[in-house]
Amino acid sequence: MKGPLCDELVLAIYPTPRGFAYALFEAPLSPVDWGTREFLGKDKNARTLGAIARLCKAARPETLVIEDGVTASSKRSQRVQRLLGLIGAMAEVEDISLVRYSRKTIRETFHHPAITRQEIAQAIATYIPALSDRLPPMRKLWQSEDPRLWIFDAASLALTHFARVTDDEPP
Amino acid sequence: MNKMSCYVRTQRLKSGLLQKDLLALLPTTGRNRVSTTERGLHPPNGGEILAYEVIFGSPAHELFPKHFAEVEEAVVDRAYALHQSLEGNLDAKSARKRASLEAILARAVDRRQRKDR
């Protein structure tokens, strides 16, 4: 990846089974905030959406990037698909430009249609040292997914957006 | 760049410190001070600004760009007003003062041009 050609405050949201992960970038190699939020119990979508709205209010991003959950190839649950729709509606109300990218687009941006999420995370950690200490180890077959990987899923959405906007090459 | 109003959280995340770690490093301060500073709810005081500079090794204007811009604008306005009030005074002391005030204005203009580039 080349230098920061585009300075646009981009907030990428990646819904997770327990809440959401986010990554806020002001340029391709400049993350300014990242993390995960978890919500247990009922009304998960309403609470998740509330937290995302608060995050948008605090960060005031110019662009919100989410996964395209309605493509035929999407494997996201119905709850997450509903949440993605609600995020889209919220972005419209808040007057934030919304962009959606499918997993296929992300994989293509990272140069290989069969690339795994772990490999994408490793590539991001290599190029963005600030995120490198959040890189989880490769999970074993019997292990559940590490929540830290979701931060990289959010970052991959933001980097896909920067790559599309600037015609820059991702890591 | 500098799209955020405060970069304390960014620097803290990069350094791997928790809010309570940062709180322990700051000189006498309130319990929620780091959180409120990170969220831009409360401007940091002079001691905290210096402490954050020491902790992260970044200058205050990079850590608190919005706060710095506000202070700079206020100082530039006052410097301009003071410069205007000195117009017509031809003594050496006033000339020195005017030169200092012009330097303040020139630095502000230079900083703004570099930021816009």
Residues from chain A contacting residue B1 (CB–CB below 8 Å):
4, 7, 26-27, 30
Tokens (6 digits) for B116: 């816009």
Q: Note whether A18 and A40 are within 8 A (CB).
A: yes
Mean pLDDT of A106-134: 88
Q: What is the nearest CA distance from B62 to chain A, expressed in angstroms?
A: 13
Give chain B's count of helices (H) and strands (E): 7, 0
Question: In 3-state terms, what secondary structure has residue A35?
Answer: strand
Convert the pLDDT of each residue in A40-99 to its tens digit.
Answer: 888 889 999 999 999 998 888 999 999 987 776 677 888 898 999 999 999 999 999 999
Report d(CA B61, CA B64) in Å as an integer: 5
Nearest CA in chain A to B15: A130
Q: Where does the pLDDT of residue A4 fall: very low under 50, low under 70, confident under 90, or very high at 90 and above?
A: very low
Q: Quick count: other Cβ atoms within 10 Å of Cβ B57?
A: 9
End-to-end CA distance of chain A: 5
Q: Where does the pLDDT of residue A167 fall: very low under 50, low under 70, confident under 90, or very high at 90 and above?
A: low
Task: Give the model's pLDDT for residue A2.
Answer: 40
Q: What is the nearest CA distance from B117 to chain A, expressed in angstroms?
A: 12
Question: Worst-scoring range by mean pLDDT, A10-14, A167-171, B27-31?
Answer: A167-171
Domain A10-166 CATH assignment equals 3.30.420.10: yes
pTM: 0.82
Domain boundaries along the sequence of chain A:
10-166
Q: Which of A27, A58, A133 lies nearest to residue B1, judging by beta carbons?
A: A27
Q: Where does the pLDDT of residue A115 fall: very low under 50, low under 70, confident under 90, or very high at 90 and above?
A: confident
CB-based contact, A43 to chain B, within 8 Å: no
Q: Note whether A28 and A166 are within 8 A (CB).
A: yes
| Structure ipTM | 0.76
Q: Which of A26, A31, A35 lies nearest to residue B1, judging by beta carbons?
A: A26
Q: What is the nearest CA distance from A104 to chain B, expressed in angstroms?
A: 30
